[in-house]
């Protein structure tokens, strides 16, 4: 299959993600015309004939551009996940960094390749689908059962609202949440490549689901990043910090917000109390929330 076909199909294993990423990392040097560094991010331009395309900016510290380095780090990545699945709980800072770098490189390379190979608007759903598949597979690798569900919420005698939940994580041998309820020990997870235009829905969903099941439901958000290209040579951070704190104070408090590529606000007060790295979720916070910490 062509690269664009593989980018648009469902991926069923981490090894498939590895193979696809290697293909992309070997492909990119062939089509990149220029790069520009802006505030720690790299903007890619591809000029083939009269066609100019830009890839989404990538974090220069997180993204592994070299295929050989990625291959070496992927082995370490799998080893760390297996150690977590076997019960290890005390990891080094370097282990957290590997989780974030490999996850980021896989997902961002897919996004960049789709930017350069096809129509960006048409490919947006594929970027989101690959992100959901990647996170589910990582969770499965550390033995956390997870499943996508649709919660059916009746609002009248004949009317029912279908509340789509990206993921439910469970401490059980199988996910017990279903179309009628959320198990009290399970976590609702919202997966988004960006919080732009989507952050508010997570807060509303937590309020809605908790009201429907008549108790507080644990809800977390996992995001790839909150940065986008501005023109041909600049970037914008899209995280709306003030609105996030207003939602947190006046609507409800989420049980965790995790970024693979954290927003600059994540290291500042009061945001750092609420925003953590994706690796924190994988190696620590998920089991804390599920109550399975040994």
Do residues 136 and 151 share a domain? no
Q: How far apart are CA 169 and CA 187, in angstroms?
A: 5
Q: Tell me if residue 40 falls in helix, strand or coil.
A: coil
Do residue 135 and residue 150 come from a single domain?
A: no
> What CATH number is associated with residue 221?
3.40.91.80
Q: Are 212 and 248 in contact (CB under 8 A)?
A: no
Do 259 and 152 reside in the same domain of the chain?
A: yes
Query: What percent of the chain has pLDDT above 70?
Result: 99
Cis peptide before 59 (omega within 30 of 0): no
pLDDT confidence band for 15 (50 / 70 / 90): very high
Q: What is the pLDDT of residues 130-189, one digit of tens each?
A: 999 999 999 999 999 999 999 999 999 889 999 999 999 999 999 999 999 999 999 999
Domain end: 119, 140, 161, which one?
A: 140
pLDDT band, residue 293 (cuts 50/70/90): low
Residues 6+ apart with CB under 8 A from 105: 21, 62, 63, 64, 70
pLDDT tens digits for 18-53?
A: 999 999 999 999 999 999 999 999 999 998 778 889
CA–centroid distance for 266 within its chain = 16
Domain final residue pick, 82, 109, 140: 140
Count: domains in the chain: 2
Residues 199 and 96 in one domain: no
pLDDT (tens digit per residue) in 237-266: 999 999 999 999 999 999 999 999 999 989
pLDDT digits (tens, 9 = 90+) for 80-139: 999 999 999 899 999 999 999 999 999 999 999 999 987 767 788 999 999 999 999 999
Identify whether residues 98 and 236 lie together within a single domain: no
Higher pLDDT, 58 or 294: 58
Mark which of 122, 140, 158 sits at the end of a domain: 140
- The packing angle between helices 67-85 and 93-117, to 10°, is 130
Q: Quick one: pLDDT at residue 123?
A: 83
DSSP E strands in the chain: the ranges are 34-38, 41-48, 51-59, 145-154, 160-170, 187-192, 218-223, 227-230, 234-237, 256-259, 275-277
Q: Could you tell me if 134 and 30 lie in one domain? A: yes
Rounded average pLDDT over 2-7: 92
At 39 the pLDDT is 94
Instruction: Using alpha carbons only, give the angle 190, 77, 13 rounded to the nearest 5 degrees.
Output: 60
Same-domain pairing of 133 and 179: no
Query: How much is the mean pLDDT over the chain?
Result: 94
Domain that residue 252 falls in: 144-290
The pLDDT assigned to 140 comes to 97
Residues 114 and 156 in one domain: no
* pLDDT exceeds 60 at position 10: yes
> Same domain for 112 and 21?
yes
Among 263, 134, 130, which residue's Cα sits nearest to residue 195? Answer: 263
Task: Say whether pLDDT at 294 is over 70.
Answer: no
Q: Cα separation of 20 and 16, whole Å?
A: 6
């Amino acid at each position: 299959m062509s690269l664009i076909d593989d980018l648009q199909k469902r991926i069923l294993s981490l090894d498939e993600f590895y193979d696809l990423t290697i293909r992309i990392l070997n492909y990119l040097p062939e089509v990149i015309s220029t790069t520009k560094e802006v505030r720690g991010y790299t903007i890619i331009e591809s000029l083939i004939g009269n066609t100019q395309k830009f890839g989404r900016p990538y974090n220069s510290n997180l993204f592994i551009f070299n295929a050989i380095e990625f291959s070496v780090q992927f082995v370490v990545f799998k080893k760390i996940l297996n150690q977590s699945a076997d019960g290890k709980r005390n990891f080094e800072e370097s282990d957290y960094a590997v989780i974030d770098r490999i996850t980021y490189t896989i997902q961002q390379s897919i996004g960049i390749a789709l930017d350069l190979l096809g129509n960006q608007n048409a490919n947006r759903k594929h970027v989101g689908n690959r992100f959901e598949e990647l996170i589910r597979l990582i969770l499965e690798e550390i033995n956390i059962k997870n499943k996508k569900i649709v919660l059916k919420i009746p609002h009248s005698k004949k009317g029912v609202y279908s509340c789509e939940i990206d993921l439910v994580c469970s401490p059980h041998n199988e996910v017990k949440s279903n179309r009628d309820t959320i198990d009290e020990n399970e976590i609702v997870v919202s997966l988004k490549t960006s919080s732009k235009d989507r952050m508010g829905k997570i807060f509303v969903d937590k309020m809605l689901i908790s009201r429907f099941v008549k108790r507080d439901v644990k809800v977390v958000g996992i995001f790839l990043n909150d940065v986008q290209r501005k023109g041909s040579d600049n970037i914008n951070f899209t995280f709306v910090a003030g609105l996030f704190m207003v939602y947190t104070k006046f609507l409800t408090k989420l049980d965790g917000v995790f970024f693979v590529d954290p927003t600059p606000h994540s290291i500042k007060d009061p945001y750092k109390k609420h925003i953590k790295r994706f690796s924190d979720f994988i190696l620590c916070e998920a089991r804390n929330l599920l109550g399975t910490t040994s």
